[in-house]
Amino acid sequence: MKLVRYGEKGAEKPGLIDKSGQLRDLSAHIKDLDGAAYAPESLKKLAAIDPASLPAVSGNPRLGAPVTGISKFVAIGLNYSDHAKETGNPIPAEPIFFLKANTALSGPNDPVEKPRGSTKLDWEVEIAVIIGTRAKYVSEAEALNYVAGYTICNDVSERNFQIERLGQWTKGKSHDTFGPVGPWLVTKDEIPDVQKLSMWLDVNGQRRQTGTTATMIFSIAKCISYVSQFMTLLPGDIVTTGTPPGVGMGMKPPTYLNVGDTVALGIEGLGEQRQVIVEA
């Protein structure tokens, strides 16, 4: 299934994308796509619904993030060796992770704000996991059993805030709109091998990132297992898993986003996003 939230911000409705690409409304069956909606029993009930029985949604409504009411937004850093190299960092011996503020979460095509005082606004295409089952001290072998599905995240980053302003990476990763997620959640049964998906990102129509989940240092299963050793992941929580090379800070000279720029990105089987940079 491809599950989606659509409508104006703060008033999104649950829906799904049928095999023909038609958006259909799920409001008669579920109130919203929160953590409870992504529990295994709930997903099983949704999968049993005949999409043709659902009302078709006309037009081209705004898409929100495909999950709401999350308890945490976890991000893995430096999880592709070429990305670590381009940023001047050693390949990590174990996963690096940090938290993005929940208020950074936004729709896949919503504008991205350039914060006040921002000088180094950067992009990062990433595959993200949405958790379906409470995960604490889970093994790597069992980790994917705790996943509801996969989606795309642009881990928008302000490098000056992140690196030069001291403290934790969180301050450069958490401004409002710094977490576009979507366009939909694809349930894990539709992804035969999550470690073999191509990914890309363009800025103003020019290709900046080309990669594949096959080149991760730590697999998605390893990332979930690792994070669960330090904190409990709850249904609906997002874990975004690192970016391939091609970010702005790795270019020679470094190149960053400005107001009016357009970022487009996509991952095989998971859809595409598009954002315009605006003033905060």
* CB distance 8 to 100 below 8 Å: no
pLDDT at 85 (0 to 100): 82
pLDDT at 83 (0 to 100): 82
Q: pLDDT exceeding 70 applies to what percent of the chain?
A: 100
The CATH number for 242's domain is: 3.90.850.10
Cα distances (angstroms) measured from residue 216 to each of 198, 208, 211: 12, 18, 10
Range of the domain at 120: 73-279
81 pLDDT higher than 90:
no
Beta-strand relationship, 105-106 and 179-180: parallel
Which pLDDT tens digit goes with each residue over 47-67? 999 999 999 999 999 999 999
Same domain flag for 46 and 131: no
Beta-strand relationship, 198-203 and 262-267: antiparallel
Which pLDDT tens digit goes with each residue over 119-135? 999 999 999 999 999 99
Residue ending a domain, among 64, 88, 104, is: 64
Q: pLDDT exceeding 90 applies to what percent of the chain?
A: 94
pLDDT at 168 (0 to 100): 86
**Residue 98 tokens, joined:** 């940090």
Same domain flag for 264 and 133: yes
pTM: 0.96
Give the C-alpha separation, 5 to 33, whole Å: 7
pLDDT at 44 (0 to 100): 97
* CB distance 248 to 138 below 8 Å: no
Which pLDDT tens digit goes with each residue over 4-50? 999 999 999 999 999 999 999 999 999 999 999 999 999 999 999 99
Same domain flag for 131 and 215: yes
What is the pLDDT confidence band of residue 167, given thresholds at 50, 70 and 90? confident
Same domain flag for 113 and 143: yes
Same domain flag for 194 and 233: yes
pLDDT at 89 (0 to 100): 81
Which pLDDT tens digit goes with each residue over 210-246? 999 999 999 999 999 999 999 999 999 999 999 999 9
What is the pLDDT confidence band of residue 154, given thresholds at 50, 70 and 90? very high
